[in-house]
Amino acid sequence: MPSRAQLFENNKAWAARMTAEDPTFFQRLTRQQNPQYLWIGCSDSRVPANEIVDLLPGELFVHRNVGNVVVHTDLNCLSVLQYAVEVLDVSRIIVCGHYGCGGVTAAFRDKPLGLIDAWLRHIQDVRTKHRSQLDALPDDAARIHRLCELNVIEQARNVCNTSTVRHAWQQGHSVAVMGWIYSLEDGILRDLGFSAAKSEEVDAAYEAAIVPKREGG
Ligand code: CO
């Protein structure tokens, strides 16, 4: 494990590198941030939002929690969403899950882990909702894999159903909501086919993405 001193050393070296590449980089950022994207992802340390899409500080507004869950009573997530859409004026919201998600796996296996069980209950609701699709898969590995995808799609739809996004669409603001998933195995992002930029598109986007995939597909 790197020591605390090492982290400060790393930070100094990183700041020096950034300044060498662009001498006005930090000065510009102190004046304003102007992200075009809101990223809602998992807290997993292997899925760092900016690095995956190779964006600099200032380009991505980020909210992360265990299992990239969007709950209509979560003031934290809803506040990030509202601020991103209404104040920062982001035009794209990405819900990004990842295969091999510990939160999804624990939810699937109903493994007790403590306080977090209540949070993971939301993912268990996704599992229950799609039980027949999951049961049709050959084994638990395939079911967990698909549950990681289904969870993204459900949470992306939840984003669409927030008062913030509904209001933005009513007002004619351009906000697109997308569902993506990241693979720890090859570092590649995949589009799950959920994309909605107005209320009328949500149901069709959801239905297209949620349909059971062919085996191996
Ligand atoms: Co995860």
pLDDT band at 214 (very low <50, low <70, confident <90, very high): low
Residues designated as active site: 42, 44, 46, 98, 101
Tell me how far the alpha carbon of residue 171 lies from the centroid of ligand 1, in angstroms.
34
Shared domain check, 91 and 23: no
Structural domain tally of the chain? 2
- Spatial CA neighbour of 94 closest among 71, 64, 56, 126: 64
Q: Per-residue pLDDT averaged across 68-97, rounded?
A: 98
Residue 155, helix vs strand vs coil: helix
Q: Quick check: is 215 in a domain? A: no
CA of 179 to the centre of ligand 1 (A): 15
Q: How far is the CA of 185 from the centre of ligand 1 (A)?
A: 14
Q: What is the pLDDT of residue 216?
A: 47
pLDDT level of residue 33 (50, 70, 90 thresholds): confident
**Cα 8 to averaged position of ligand 1 atoms, centre (Å):** 27
Are both 6 and 89 inside the same structural domain? no
Same domain, residue pair 16 and 48: no
**pLDDT digit string, tens, across residues 49-58:** 999 999 999 9
- Asked whether residue 183 falls in the same domain as residue 81, the answer is yes
Whether 186 and 98 have beta carbons less than 8 Å apart is answered as: no
Task: Assign 64 a pLDDT band (cuts: 50, 70, 90).
Answer: very high
User: Do 17 and 63 belong together in one domain?
Assistant: no
Q: With respect to residue 7, please indicate whether it lies within any of the assigned structural domains.
A: yes
Q: Taking a C-beta distance cutoff of 8 angstroms, is the pair 182, 52 a contact? A: yes
Give pLDDT tens digits for 143-197.
999 999 999 999 999 999 999 999 999 999 999 999 999 999 999 999 999 999 9
Name the amino acid, one letter, at 166.
Answer: R
pLDDT at position 213: 72
Quick one: 26 and 104 in the same domain? no
| C-alpha dihedral (110, 113, 119, 123), degrees to nearest 10 | -30
| 4 vs 215, more confident | 4
**Same-domain pairing of 66 and 12:** no
Dist CA 207 CA 79 (whole Å): 28
State yes or no: pLDDT of 217 exceeds 80.
no
Residues 8 and 65 in one domain: no
pTM of the model as a whole: 0.94
Q: How far is the CA of 40 from the centre of ligand 1 (A)?
A: 12
Ligand 1 centre to CA of 67 (Å) is: 5
Residue 103 has pLDDT above 80, yes or no: yes
pLDDT in tens, 111-153: 899 999 999 999 999 999 999 999 999 999 999 999 999 999 9
Are 53 and 84 found together in one domain? yes
| pLDDT band for position 8 (cuts 50, 70, 90) | very high
- Strand-by-strand arrangement of the 176-182 sheet: 60-65, 37-42, 92-98, 176-182, 189-196
Distance 63 CA to ligand 1 centre (A): 13
- Find the domain containing 51 and state its range: 35-210
Residues with CB under 5 A from ligand 1 (ion): 42, 44, 101, 103
Report the C-alpha gap between 74 and 89 in whole angstroms: 21
Model confidence over 86-102: pLDDT tens digits? 999 999 999 999 999 99
Q: Is residue 216 part of a domain?
A: no
